[in-house]
Amino acid sequence: MSQDYHRSPEDRRRRQRYLRKKKQRRNRRRLFYILCLLLLFLVFTAFRGIRTRLANKSNLEANVALWYYQQMLREDKGQVDRSNVSYLNPLDLANIGRDKLTTFGYDLVKGSNHIKSAEKYAYDTKKIQEIIREKRDYTGKKLVFLTFDDGPNNKITPQILDRLKERGVHATFFLVGNHLTDKHEDVLRRILREGHGIATHSLTHNYKKLYPGRVGNAKQIAYEAKKAEEYLQEYFGPDFSCGVWRYPGGHQSWKGLENGPDQALEKLGATWIDWNCLVGDAQPRSDRPTTSQGQVDYVNKSLHQNKQTKVAVVLAHDADNKQLTADSLDMVIDYFEENGYSFGILK
């Protein structure tokens, strides 16, 4: 006989309410477990779908954190991946953010054109200018400053950076303001990040604007120097200051620069500098070397036309059509190392 038979009607009603609530709790738990399983299934299905889609993309697009870790390893080996340099996708933009938050925040020497690790081999441009013009005596160690005009670009400049990194050598890059565009941002930031010096080489590189009638136009030159520096500050922040300028064609090629343009640059905090030897890659074709050994010979010949040979400022170019210069760089570095020179940058 059922125990409910001996219970009062009130006890039976309480018992029934208890059993109903117990059943409701059990049903809610079952529903909760079913929803959890369904959610897990949906998450798993979504994850598989995402992973499948990512698997169809390049490794660069698959995983930002992993790509940048691999990128740093590649950079350490001198194998930088520049398959994307236009900064048209989120990964490229993330590289800009990384540079701003790391390399060019605390590493930049405030008010200068290089990072802190480069300070030990950065030399005052004014003093070097006076030495190579034989207006200042110099008895110190042999110094060489490799300089590259007319960049940056994504063809020759990266090759030169690769060779410099592999050899543990640094240089100064004289950049044209109108080349400082987003499509060159990767290589521009790499120049600074890898310990090189950044200098300006006008905004337009237009001789007619800069030197009408072969006479320096102080107003135009000052405008182009200021504008080129402003472009650089857009990438490196207000603490960046170049302070190093090279006249397109060289100071020696034009008239009237001492009577206005030089003073205009000085007011902007910039010092101009030419060179006292060159690889000959911008010489007239009849005099231009056509081999790597020819460029080394040109350096040697032009350097020894000076009385002061302990300090060498080498003119070379990293424009798109200067493949021979990139190919010859190892031999030029060998020449100066074999002759006891230390490499520096201009600041």
**pLDDT tens-place string over residues 153-196:** 999 999 999 999 999 999 999 999 999 998 898 899 899 999 99
Q: Per-residue pLDDT averaged across 23-34, rounded?
A: 80
How far apart, in whole angstroms, are the C-alpha atoms of residue 272 and residue 245?
5
Residue 94 is predicted with a pLDDT of 59
User: Higher pLDDT residue, 94 or 212?
Assistant: 212
Q: Are 272 and 245 in contact (CB under 8 A)?
A: yes
The mean pLDDT of 282-301, rounded to a whole number, is 97
CA torsion 241→242→244→247, rounded to 10°?
-120
For residues 196 and 188, the answer to whether their CB atoms sit within 8 Å is no
Q: What is the pLDDT of residue 1?
A: 46
pLDDT for 86? 42
- Tell me the average pLDDT of the chain: 86
- Take residue 307 and report the two structure tokens written for it: 């009385």
Do 272 and 247 touch, CB atoms closer than 8 A?
A: yes
pLDDT surpassing 70 at residue 272: yes
Contact 162, 78 (CB under 8 A): yes
Q: How buried is 338 (Cβ within 10 angstroms: 0-12 exposed, 13-18 middle, 19+ buried)?
A: exposed
CA–CA dist 123, 125 (Å, integer): 6
pLDDT in tens, 30-79: 888 788 877 877 777 776 766 655 554 444 444 445 555 555 566 566 55
Return the pLDDT at 317.
98
The position carrying tokens 């000959």 is 280
Q: Which of 102, 124, 128 is nearest to 113 (CA)?
A: 124
pLDDT at res. 313: 98
Rounded-to-integer distance, Cα 124 and Cα 101, Å: 28
Please report the DSSP string for 282-308 in residue order: TS-TTT---SHHHHHHHHHHHHTTSS-
pLDDT winner (highest mean) among 18-32, 99-113, 115-129: 115-129
DSSP notation for 255-268: BSGGGTHHHHHHHT
Q: Cα–Cα distance between 46 and 22 in angstroms, integer? A: 36
Average pLDDT over residues 204-217: 97
148-152, 189-193, 216-220, 326-330: range with lowest mean pLDDT: 189-193
Cis? peptide before 152, omega within 30° of 0: yes
Largest Cα–Cα distance of the chain, in whole Å?
126
Predicted TM-score (pTM) of the model is 0.73
Please give the pLDDT value at position 77: 61
pLDDT in tens, 99-112: 655 555 558 899 99
Q: Which two tokens stand for residue 203?
A: 């905004």
Higher pLDDT, 236 or 329: 329
Inform me whether the pLDDT recorded for 336 exceeds 60: yes
Q: What is the reported pLDDT for 58?
A: 44
Q: What share of the chain is helix, strand, coil (3-state, %, to 5)?
A: 55, 10, 35
By the 8 A CB rule, do 148 and 318 touch? yes
For residue 284 the two structure tokens come to: 């007239």
Exposed/middle/buried for residue 137 (C-beta within 10 Å: 0-12, 13-18, 19+): exposed
- Strand, helix or coil for residue 35: helix
pLDDT of amino acid 70: 58
pLDDT number for residue 24: 81
Helices 185-193 and 156-167: crossing angle in degrees, nearest 10, is 20
